[in-house]
């Protein structure tokens, strides 16, 4: 079992929703966390103040991870501040749901840039440092939508499915190193992203979940701890945390 105390993690989009829960859980386990945010400065400042007050070592870095230069700067600032990097959580993501007929080129490209191209940006910058760790981790937050598709979600599904292929391929390439690469595929989790779905549609979605409820962000965060702490022999996998909606 890996001792997480004193390890250093970057959580992209780590100030809100699932990312915030991941930040909290890692900090609770003694990990020093860089909380990346793009526009959520208020949420980031509040979270940092609260976690520092509780004795955790956390640091916020503004960066748009769809931009390569800013992603490199995010990793550079992490190294400057904490001196090492062990865990990269690629969590930042957006939706721009529209049926394909109505989807603009910009809707397509923006979602692919933020949800998929960002992972090239952060991982390529982080990899040299992760390889120096005795238990490096890359964990990509994909989605059930990348596994079974979603109406009005061609852009999002393409990006999230892309993350799964990327996870397996990079895991193969790094299998002989100490870095594991895995994806977590959440089902419907109670965050702002899901609260944006109109209530009648949301109720229909919940009725399709065998466990008949939304998941909580903390349930994803505990999956992250499992992969970081007990995951030495787990690589190239998709951890489905979804109430049984996709098996």
Options 10, 60, 183, 189; binder of ligand NAD; rule CB under 6 A: 189
Residue with tokens 């899901």: 194
Name the minimum Å distance from CB 11 to ligand NAD.
Answer: 9
Q: Is 16 in the site for ligand NAD (CB under 6 A)?
A: yes
The stretch near ligand NAD (CB under 6 A) out of 11-19, 101-109, 124-132, 201-209 is 11-19
Nearest CA-CA partner of 47 in 88, 11, 93: 11
- Which contiguous run of DSSP H or E holds residue 163? helix 154-174
Nearest CA-CA partner of 223 in 195, 196, 187, 169: 187
Beta bridge partners of 180: 137
Residue with tokens 């501040």: 81
The residues, any chain, with a CB within 8 Å of residue 201's CB and separated by 6 or more, are none
x/- track of binding to ligand NAD for residues 131-150 (CB under 6 A):
----------x-x-------
Report d(CA 175, CA 220) in Å as an integer: 24
Identify whether 156 is a catalytic site residue: yes
Q: What are the tokens at 143?
A: 């989605």
Q: What are the tokens at 36?
A: 């990346």
Q: Is 162 in the site for ligand NAD (CB under 6 A)?
A: no
Q: Is 17 in the site for ligand NAD (CB under 6 A)?
A: yes
Name the minimum Å distance from CB 188 to ligand NAD.
Answer: 5
Name the minimum Å distance from CB 6 to ligand NAD.
Answer: 26
Give the residue with the Cβ less far from ligand NAD, 177 or 211: 211
Options 2, 79, 103, 193; binder of ligand NAD; rule CB under 6 A: 193
Report d(CA 236, CA 169) in Å as an integer: 8
Q: Is 12 in the site for ligand NAD (CB under 6 A)?
A: yes
Q: Is 93 in the site for ligand NAD (CB under 6 A)?
A: yes
Nearest CA-CA partner of 11 in 33, 32, 29: 33
The two beta strands, 87-90 and 136-141, are parallel
Options 78, 121, 133, 191; binder of ligand NAD; rule CB under 6 A: 191
- Of 156, 226, 233, 246, the catalytic one is 156
**Catalytic positions, written as ranges:** 156
Q: Which parts of this chain interact with ligand NAD (CB under 6 A)?
A: 12-13, 15-19, 36-40, 64-66, 91-94, 114, 141, 143, 186, 188-189, 191-194
């Amino acid at each position: 079992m890996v001792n997480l105390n004193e390890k250093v993690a970057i959580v992209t989009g780590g100030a809100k929703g699932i990312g915030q829960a991941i930040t909290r859980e890692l900090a609770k386990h003694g990990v020093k966390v860089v909380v990346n945010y793009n526009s959520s400065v208020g949420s980031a400042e509040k979270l940092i103040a609260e976690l520092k007050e509780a004795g955790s070592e956390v640091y916020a870095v503004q960066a748009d991870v769809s931009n390569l230069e800013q992603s490199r700067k995010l990793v550079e600032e992490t190294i400057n501040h904490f001196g090492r990097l062990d865990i990269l959580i690629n969590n930042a993501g957006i939706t721009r749901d529209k049926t394909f007929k109505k989807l603009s080129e910009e809707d397509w490209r923006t979602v692919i840039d933020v949800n998929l191209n960002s992972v090239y940006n952060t991982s390529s910058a982080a990899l040299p440092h992760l390889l120096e760790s005795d238990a490096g981790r890359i964990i990509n937050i994909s989605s059930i939508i990348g596994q079974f598709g979603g109406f009005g979600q061609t852009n999002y599904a393409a990006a999230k499915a892309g993350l799964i292929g990327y996870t397996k391929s990079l895991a193969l390439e790094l299998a002989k190193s100490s870095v594991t690469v895995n994806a977590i595929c959440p089902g419907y989790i109670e965050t702002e992203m899901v609260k944006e779905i109109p209530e009648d549609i949301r109720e229909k979605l919940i009725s399709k979940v065998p466990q008949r409820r939304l998941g909580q962000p903390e349930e994803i965060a505990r999956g992250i701890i499992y992969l970081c702490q007990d995951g030495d022999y787990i690589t190239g996998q998709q951890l489905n945390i979804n109430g049984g909606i996709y098996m």
